[in-house]
Chains A and B, each alone.
Chain A
Amino acid sequence: MESGTDPRLPTLLGITLRRSMVVGRMSLVIGGGMVVFYSALFGIAGPLFVSVGTVILPVFAVSGGIGGALVFTNDRTKGVLEYLVAYGISPRRILANALIAGIVQVTIILGVGLAAGLTAYLLSGNALTSTLPEILLGYTFPMSYLSVTLMTTIGVFWTSLSSPRSGLNSPLGVLPLIGVLPTTLLMIVAIALGAEASRVLLVGELVVFVLLASLLARTDRFMPTERLLSPA
């Protein structure tokens, strides 16, 4: 029963996205607020926005993208996943929806944050350079997406394999810490190494990608249908 969803069934992506915004609104506001604040701060500081600000942004952006994992955990506890599986929605589809919800939230946070940062940067009399889009497209966006996808995947698998519980003792309680770990470590190492920073960031992205791909390849094992059921 771990096979894919029948193509005639709805994807439920739209409503999952909407629910992730509602359920994860607090983390979205806090994460978004921090990204806007630091982005604007670095924008005013000028060149630091390009060299440091763009590397820091993923740390805060990821912490606001927990909505997909929240929806999954709530749905499991409330017995919603049990219905979806009974109607033929596959665990893979459920996971995909959670991952996309996290990515969309991070996109919103980064979009708003970068708009604020760039505005501050330009209003402070700084000129745009080719380095900025290179870093944004080469690190800020891909690393944010990789990190939020890794965080959501770990959250979904961990929730699936553990008994329902709440608070800091639950997977969700520590999930934001897991999410920001790769970006924070990379940021510290990159800043410490200075000249080798771009290479460190690239290698770091590759490591996260490989880790994520190896986890997703084991979806059926870490997310068996029976682990999506509500407590009997």
Chain B
Amino acid sequence: MLKVTDLHTHHGYLHVLNGINFELSEGELLAIVGSNGAGKSTLLGTLAGVYRPSSGSIEYKGKDITKQNVQKMVSSGICLVPERRQIFSSLSVKDNLMLGAYHRYRRDHKKVHDEYEEVLELFPRLKTMLNRPGGLLSGGEQQMLAIGRGLMANPKVLMLDEPSLGLAPLIVKDIMQILRKLCDERGATIILVEQNVKAALKVADRGCVLAHGQIVISGTSQELLNDPKVQEAYFGKMEAAKV
């Protein structure tokens, strides 16, 4: 569905993405993990059209979309839920959700309203606070709102940048389960960027470890969870690595 080949992105003089290659199949949940500054957010930003890649290609359903801007990416069905949720704090929960369908509201507003009801079914908690300003929601509720807003774009590929950031472990678990449910029950295709490696790999089908702008390890989630290098780097299991 999505094929990324030799992708390079610069921020000024800084070479952030240094030859990224991966493929994503329909209905798959791919976790991209890595430490701070590895280039995870830049990778999602580049895929979403926020940053222009210096070279390489992004193919979506066989079509080259490398040079598309954000608006066209969203229209194509590639949608980013940005880091730190970025809720429109002064707008109501309803307006936040409706803004997710901004690019297609005029075209098919009836369908948008149907999908709005579907999103509320998925996040019943939001249903009770539709008129509340987004800024007054708790961290977990804001994250649900951010994911709901992303779903309102009717994405074919949903990309989430660190949805667990600043959330309590129980809420992280809920969020991860919702993502898994989206893939299993709705056939959603998700790229999940996370620093919470364990939580991400537990729900993902496959995973990639990003370091210094390159994918250094990739495989199924189980392979990564059992990989001594991953255990050493992210779970602090030095002994496991030696064994």
Instruction: Indicate, yes or no, whether A interacts with B.
Output: no
Interface of A with B (CB < 8 Å)? none
